């Protein structure tokens, strides 16, 4: 009997030690994963902080963005769905070479809560983040599976992984009092700065992901900020494009 007791005691001790060792190992892995995640987050923050930019106000001071230095912007004609003239702006952003980098339009009606792109499609999510930890809008860089030399870089109401499940086309996001679109579309014939022209498909897009210009574009888009509440209602909700 004493021998059995000692064996049980030894077995219990081994089990306890194993459980403790497993716990320590799991804690170590969790710690390593946490540290790794922290490093990636810090790297992302460092990458964004290296982009020199100046804050500019838009749409009668309702919004602001950080415009990369040596970039410029120009106003363009509004479209009919920008109903709220008080908070509407239509702007194109150009890089230092005068190439179109992104288009921003504000002043549209708010999107429905369940608004989603209409055409399902399984695409490649290259980059994504949220402007706010608790809500949208979200930033997404999506390469089209059907045509990998086509991509969409945009702010969107849905999360980046959701956006990747639909056709990369015009998208929009809500802000207090309305909605906006902020996007760049890349086509097969578009030159991508600092990217080898011999690259194609996803390789081409991943190469662009590593460029300074992409960092500037991401800084511009993710800096979108609403500075004051929209309190003026649109005068009307036209259902079709106005004549003339």
pLDDT score at 235: 60
**Structure token pair of residue 66:** 């950080």
> What is the Cα–Cα distance from 106 to 90, expressed in whole angstroms?
7
Q: Quick one: what percent of the chain has pLDDT higher than 70?
A: 69
Q: What is the pLDDT of residues 146-163, one digit of tens each?
A: 888 999 999 998 888 888
**Structure token pair of residue 204:** 């081409």
> What is the Cα–Cα distance from 76 to 91, expressed in whole angstroms?
6
Picking from 107, 108, 109, 104, the residue whose alpha carbon sits closest to that of residue 75 is 104
Q: Residue 201 pLDDT > 60, yes or no? A: yes
Higher-pLDDT residue of 46, 67: 67
Quick count: other Cβ atoms within 10 Å of Cβ 123? Answer: 22
pLDDT band with cut points at 50, 70 and 90 for residue 45 = very low
> What is the Cα–Cα distance from 237 to 159, expressed in whole angstroms?
28
Higher-pLDDT residue of 171, 116: 171
Q: What is the pLDDT of residues 31-43, one digit of tens each?
A: 433 333 333 343 3
């Amino acid at each position: 009997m004493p021998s059995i007791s000692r064996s049980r005691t030894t077995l219990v001790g081994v089990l306890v030690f194993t459980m403790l060792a497993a716990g320590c190992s799991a804690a170590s892995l969790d710690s390593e994963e946490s540290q790794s995640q922290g490093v990636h987050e810090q790297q992302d923050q460092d990458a964004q902080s290296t982009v020199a930019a100046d804050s500019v106000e838009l749409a009668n001071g309702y919004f602001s963005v950080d415009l990369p230095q040596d970039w410029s912007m120009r106003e363009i004609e509004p479209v009919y769905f920008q109903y709220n003239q008080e908070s509407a702006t239509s702007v194109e952003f150009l890089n230092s070479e005068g190439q179109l980098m992104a288009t921003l339009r504000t002043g549209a009606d708010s999107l429905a809560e369940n608004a989603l792109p209409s055409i399902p499609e399984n695409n490649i999510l290259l980059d994504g983040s949220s402007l706010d930890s608790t809500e949208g809008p979200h930033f997404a860089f999506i390469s089209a599976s059907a045509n990998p030399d086509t991509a969409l870089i945009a702010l969107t109401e849905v999360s980046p992984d959701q956006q990747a499940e639909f056709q990369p086309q015009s998208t929009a996001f809500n802000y207090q009092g309305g909605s906006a679109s902020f996007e760049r579309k890349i086509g097969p014939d578009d030159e991508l700065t600092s990217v080898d022209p011999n690259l194609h498909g996803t390789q081409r897009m991943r190469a662009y992901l590593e460029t300074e210009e992409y960092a500037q574009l991401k800084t511009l888009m993710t800096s979108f900020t609403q500075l004051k509440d929209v309190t003026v209602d649109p005068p009307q909700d036209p259902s079709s494009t106005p004549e003339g």
